[in-house]
């Protein structure tokens, strides 16, 4: 019923195959539109959507060293560097 189709990626402009199996899968899921990006560009777009995490620098409450953390530190909450945090979890 389905036959392989050659499509052109809208991001990189390269041709890619929209296989009969993929077309059948799309139909089963109720997808009406064909893919517009090749597999590599879809993966790059998916990974890029996560974005880079902003890191903040603070002073470790235990050893006084530099702590790099993924959240804005508050004055009333202690912050620990990776090593001190790991030591605290072991106890």
Q: What is the pLDDT of residues 27-42, one digit of tens each?
A: 999 999 999 999 999 9
Whole-angstrom distance, CA of residue 3 vs CA of residue 20 = 5
Which element (helix H / strand E) includes 50?
A: helix 39-50
**Res 51: pLDDT:** 66
**Res 49: pLDDT:** 66
| Cut 0.95: pTM above it | no
On whether the CB atoms of residues 37 and 10 are closer than 8 A, the answer is yes
Q: What is the pLDDT of residues 26-82, one digit of tens each?
A: 999 999 999 999 999 999 888 876 667 789 999 999 999 999 998 999 889 999 999
């Amino acid at each position: 019923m389905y036959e392989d189709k050659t499509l052109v990626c809208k991001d990189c402009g390269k041709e890619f195959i929209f296989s009969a199996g993929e077309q059948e899968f799309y139909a089963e899921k109720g997808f009406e539109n064909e893919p517009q990006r090749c597999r590599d560009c879809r993966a790059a777009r998916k990974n890029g959507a996560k974005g880079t995490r902003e890191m903040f620098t603070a002073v470790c409450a235990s050893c006084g060293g530099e702590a790099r953390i993924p959240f804005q530190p508050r004055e009333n909450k202690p912050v620990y560097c990776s090593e001190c945090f790991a030591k605290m979890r072991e106890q």
